[in-house]
Amino acid sequence: NPYILATLLFGLGLGTTITFASSHWLLAWMGLEINTLAIIPLMAQHHHPRAVEATTKYFLTQATAAAMLLFASTTNAWLTGQWDIQQMSHPFPLTLITLALALKIGLAPMHTWLPEVLQGLDLTTGLVLSTWQKLAPFALLLQIQNVNPTILVTLGLASTLVGGWGGLNQTQLRKVLAYSSIAHLGWMILILQYSPSLTLLALLTYFVMTFSTFLVFKLNKSTSINALAISWTKAPILTSLTPLVLLSLGGLPPLTGFMPKWLILQELAKQDLTPLATLAALSALLSLYFYLRISYAMTLTMSPNNLTGVTPWRFSSPQLTLPLAIATTATISLL
């Protein structure tokens, strides 16, 4: 029903906006809660056991994280007597809040729900989950000052490594995208305390790249690597562009995805954290491997059942192709 859909999307927007606009922990928590409640019906709209299971898992993790956040902020108010987000001073609630937000966006080692949940959703809701749902917790992470640097660096490094290792053995595209999301978030968290503007840049480029990747898979109606082999007959022009999109997601030099990684490594080196920068760069190679694998499956293998004359791409809807064209161009040539 379009009215219900409009209400839910409005709820999504409202939740994020409330969290953005709040300087009081209770209000921030309320925004996150509205956000979660608005996306749950969207996730369960296909009455399929997988979708329902994914929705339940998502609801439980988000509720846990929100409860943790509320507990930490009340503890903070109890210890220091104030609710302001920017005025956090006590280390205990600070750590707790950081961990709660990490659980909300799926940073390692609190990442295990993300691949499972994403695997049960359709690509559109998966895209909302990978992009829009990350905004509100990120706004809070950016606002809390003087958090222990060790925690953030540990979370970030663990996420880049887990995102690299986890995706290697996957054949399901949505799980690969989930691990890719974990790895990118790790990069953002690594640099969070040294240069918040770089974190935002990385987030923005990640959104653009993920957007085009999800739309490509949606246009191909493919959810596993095997299904990509016949994409040449479905959309030839798109298939020849997709490896560039995937390599951009992996962070290869002439493409957009290289920009945030390059700047983050540069900033880490400036902060005398060369070993950290080296580890992060090496973990990016792991991610690159599985992006190359998908590119290979898509473009360098010929499909055995070549459907000549079947060209559904000629009749694909402009609602999908226009944003896809914009996002793909940005993903490839924004550097």
- Report the distance separating Cα 314 and Cα 19, nearest Å: 42
Within a domain: residue 310?
A: yes
Average pLDDT over residues 2-16: 97
In DSSP terms, 138 is beta-bridged to: none
Reply yes or no on whether the pLDDT at 20 is more than 80. Answer: yes
Q: Which residue has the tokens 């295990």?
A: 112
Within a domain: residue 68?
A: no
> Rounded to 5, what percent of the chain is helix, strand, coil?
80, 0, 20
Share of the chain above pLDDT 90, in %: 82
Within a domain: residue 176?
A: yes
Q: In this structure, which amino acid lies at residue 162?
A: V
Reply yes or no on whether the pLDDT at 311 is more than 70. Answer: no
Q: What is the pLDDT of residue 184?
A: 98
Average pLDDT over residues 202-217: 96
Average pLDDT over residues 296-318: 64
Q: Does 235 or 316 have the greater pLDDT score?
A: 235
- Report the distance separating Cα 328 and Cα 154, nearest Å: 33
Say if residues 321 and 216 touch (Cβ distance below 8 Å). Answer: no
Q: What is the pLDDT of residue 240?
A: 85
3-state secondary structure of 154: helix
Q: What is the pLDDT of residue 299?
A: 82
Q: What is the pLDDT of residue 335?
A: 84
Instruction: Residue 189: name the closest of 165, 167, 163, 160 by CA.
Output: 160
- Report the distance separating Cα 295 and Cα 287, nearest Å: 13
- Number of structural domains the chain divides into: 1
User: Which tens digit of pLDDT belongs to each residue from 127-183?
Assistant: 999 999 999 999 999 999 889 999 999 999 999 999 999 999 899 999 999 999 999
Within a domain: residue 121?
A: no
User: What is the CB neighbour count within 10 angstroms for residue 2?
Assistant: 6
Within a domain: residue 6?
A: no
pTM confidence score: 0.94
Reply yes or no on whether the pLDDT at 313 is more than 70. Answer: no
Within a domain: residue 131?
A: no
In DSSP terms, 84 is beta-bridged to: 24
Within a domain: residue 137?
A: no
Average pLDDT, the chain: 92
Q: What is the pLDDT of residue 314?
A: 56
Within a domain: residue 269?
A: yes
Q: Which residue has the tokens 């070549």?
A: 306
Structural domain range at position 195: 148-332
Reply yes or no on whether the pLDDT at 252 is more than 70. Answer: yes
Q: What is the pLDDT of residue 235?
A: 78
Reply yes or no on whether the pLDDT at 24 is more than 60. Answer: yes
